[in-house]
Structure 1
Amino acid sequence: MEAKTSKVSIVGAGAVGATLAYAGLMRGFARTVALYDINKAKVEAEALDLAQGIQFMPEATVLGSDDIGVVEGSDVVVITAGAKQQPGQSRMDLAGATISLMDKVLPPLIKAAPDAIYILVTNPVDVVTLASLKKSGMDPAQMFGSGTALDTSRLRHQIAAKCDVAVGNVHAYIAGEHGDSEVALWSSASIGGQPLKEFRGRDGEIVMDEAAREQIHHDVMRSAYTIIEGKGATNYAVGAAGARIVEAVLGDQRRIMPVSTLIDYPGVGEVCMSLPAIVGRNGIEHVLEMPMDDEERAALEASARSIRETAERFDAV
């Protein structure tokens, strides 16, 4: 009896797609990794470059093609293709072009790999995920966006640096939109089991006071703009985040991650937005109810409204 092996297909061989493939291969997230892109020369070159480094990674087969058939048999399909965010441009400004691209690419993808879990890693991820779900008819558990997994990583990195602790000891989430209206859930944040707002440094003083929290939230929210202004695109952290979500699915890890999934938000309607959710082999297993104060609840509702308004503007609901 032939052993079943895992296959991950990545749609888009640009900076994010190639970096996600590299991060995943280094971690050994699948036995077969396929890259699909309409640019034949680019996708074949990226696949060859990755394949020639396999000696130094966990064993895997790397494929690259402009033929949609390369994704057949995929367990997970990660879509990174989309309009490129320019310096000073908001993620929401990208909505129209990226939604139009999804209209073209999703039907043949789903036909080729109907049973795969689909993860969207393209901006604006919340609106694009909602439009993709509505137009494809896919189960929301089976298709979701990378959401604020990256923003949460940025938040934890900043908190760890400020508090001088290992980032693995920080538990905090960004919720809502992956973008300008995102919400830091300070009420549930902790370090080593201690509420974040009560954490004291070596000098015995509270580290994360209101001013520190506001500055960190601002820096996290502006991170992408800063990186794009400096180097033209973000790719390393988002590639690593995407690879980590794939691992949670393929390994059935039931890992809690803030990913963008369909929610019927009270008073707003259906939106795709991020809340911590359990991610496993069947995709989104369960969305968690997080403790929040009144300010956080109001901000999360405003974020949901922002996403919904943009979705309606692009007929994505």
Structure 2
Amino acid sequence: MSNKVMIIGTGNVGASIGFSLASQRTPVNELVLVDIDQADAEGEAMDLRDTLAVSPTYLKISAGSYEKDARDTDIAIFTAGAAQKKGGETRIELLARNAKILHDVVDQLLAANFHGILLIVTNPVDVMSYLAMQYSNFPSYKIIGSGTVLDSARLRYHLAERLSVSPKSIHAYQVGEHGDSEFAIWSTANVGSQPINKLLKKSELDKIEEDTKLAAYKIIEKKGATYYGIGACVTSIVNCIFNDERRVLPVSTYDAYTDTFFGFPSVVGRRGVVRRLDTELSEDEELKLQSSINIIKKAINSIPTK
């Protein structure tokens, strides 16, 4: 690996990922920005290069193209997507448009001999990750969705605030669909080996779980979009891959039994997904997970996969 990253889509999310990569210590050696609006990609690259003199890291940053850059790109981060049209466009209609954008991008990557890891960020991320595997015919370990990494970070923050400890000491995951059907695995959540469901009342856990699920809606209501959190989370995933950290992250990965992608604790390393963990769930959590999977599969089945 040359530790080269391509960000596809230079909107708020793509630009925030670029800034996060450029502003902290990272093994990334080269960052290429690609967008349908070439001028925007060039402007973002120029803006990011201005940080390098005071950044703790140094990397080559440029606006590029699939033809010139895809062949030696190790991780392609897909953040491109259409905005929901005013006047009543449904989420399914929006999904169909974003699926077409993804298909076009994957075709261009393959035509340019891309053989790296596809890291999907565009929503609905679980559905888009499944489609990326279908469109590319890549092995499932080379397709990673950002999944519930951000949701789990929000969960850990809320728990840390309530328990007065560092979020880094909280071991808890939000899993399933990155969306309204996601849920927290309380049965195994802990801090310092102490079960969290014995430290907090059920009513407190329910409030924290609800706050976690509603966080994005509240941010969007106040400022129009969320992008700093996902920027930091994607940087964490990229570093985990390049450093072969084999950290457990709730990324969206392929589950052959259900033939779908969803966020669940998985080991991530240099090859991509090393393995999905067989995390034990309570009976109630099993039912919640199946319900979440059903929602993802219904969305997948609503659009053509080829």
Q: Same fold (TM over 0.5)?
A: yes
* Structure 1: runs of 5+ lacking an equivalent: 200-207
Matched, 1:261 2:253: yes
The alignment partner of 2:109 has SS state of: helix
Matched, 1:298 2:283: no
Distance 1:66 1:6, change over 3 A: closer
The 5 Å alignment of 1:19-30 reads 19-29=16-26, 30=28
The alignment partner of 1:151 has SS state of: helix
The answer as to whether partners of 1:91 and 1:124 remain within 8 angstroms in 2 is: no
Note the C-alpha offset of 1:285: 0.2
Matched, 1:16 2:13: yes
Matched, 1:235 2:227: yes
Give the AA of the match of 2:247: R
Distance 1:195 1:166, change over 3 A: same
Distance 1:84 1:234, change over 3 A: farther
Distance, in Å, in 1 between the alignment partners of 2:113 and 2:191 is 41
Number of the residue aligned with 1:76: 75
Distance, in Å, in 1 between the alignment partners of 2:232 and 2:84 is 19
Distance 1:89 1:226, change over 3 A: farther
The answer as to whether partners of 2:66 and 2:109 remain within 8 angstroms in 1 is: no
Note the C-alpha offset of 1:316: 3.5
Note the C-alpha offset of 1:90: 9.1
Matched, 1:54 2:52: yes
Query: For residues 133-185 of structure 1, what are the alpha-carbon distances to aligned partners after superposition, in whole Å with 9 as ceiling and x for unaligned?
Result: 11221111011211000100010011101111111110000111000110210
Distance 1:309 1:118, change over 3 A: same
Number of the residue aligned with 1:34: 32
The answer as to whether partners of 1:35 and 1:65 remain within 8 angstroms in 2 is: yes
Deviates more, 1:65-74 or 1:147-156: 65-74
TM-score w.r.t. length of structure 1: 0.90
The 5 Å alignment of 1:276-287 reads 276-287=265-276
Give the AA of the match of 1:77: A
Matched, 1:105 2:135: no
Number of the residue aligned with 1:136: 136
Cα RMSD after superposing both structures? 2.0
Equivalences, count: 303
Number of the residue aligned with 2:184: 184
Matched, 1:289 2:283: no
Give the AA of the match of 2:39: A
Note the C-alpha offset of 1:68: 4.3
Query: For residues 186-226 of structure 1, what are the alpha-carbon distances to aligned partners after superposition, in whole Å with 9 as ceiling and x for unaligned?
Result: 11100112111123xxxxxxxx2111111111111111111
The answer as to whether partners of 1:102 and 1:132 remain within 8 angstroms in 2 is: yes
Distance 1:222 1:85, change over 3 A: farther
Query: For residues 258-283 of structure 1, what are the alpha-carbon distances to aligned partners after superposition, in whole Å with 9 as ceiling and x for unaligned?
Result: 01111134xxx311111100000000
Distance 1:89 1:293, change over 3 A: farther
The answer as to whether partners of 1:152 and 1:174 remain within 8 angstroms in 2 is: yes
Distance, in Å, in 2 between the alignment partners of 1:221 and 1:246 is 24
Distance 1:180 1:94, change over 3 A: farther
Number of the residue aligned with 2:122: 122
Query: For residues 27-75 of structure 1, what are the alpha-carbon distances to aligned partners after superposition, in whole Å with 9 as ceiling and x for unaligned?
Result: 2321111111110111100000001110111111101135642333111
Matched, 1:195 2:195: yes
TM-score w.r.t. length of structure 2: 0.94
Distance, in Å, in 1 between the alignment partners of 2:46 and 2:256 is 44
Give the AA of the match of 1:177: E
The answer as to whether partners of 2:155 and 2:209 remain within 8 angstroms in 1 is: yes
Identical columns (%):
33
Note the C-alpha offset of 1:5: 3.8
The answer as to whether partners of 1:92 and 1:124 remain within 8 angstroms in 2 is: no
Number of the residue aligned with 1:205: none
Deviates more, 1:69-78 or 1:306-315: 69-78
Note the C-alpha offset of 1:233: 0.9
Give the AA of the match of 2:124: P
The alignment partner of 1:118 has SS state of: strand
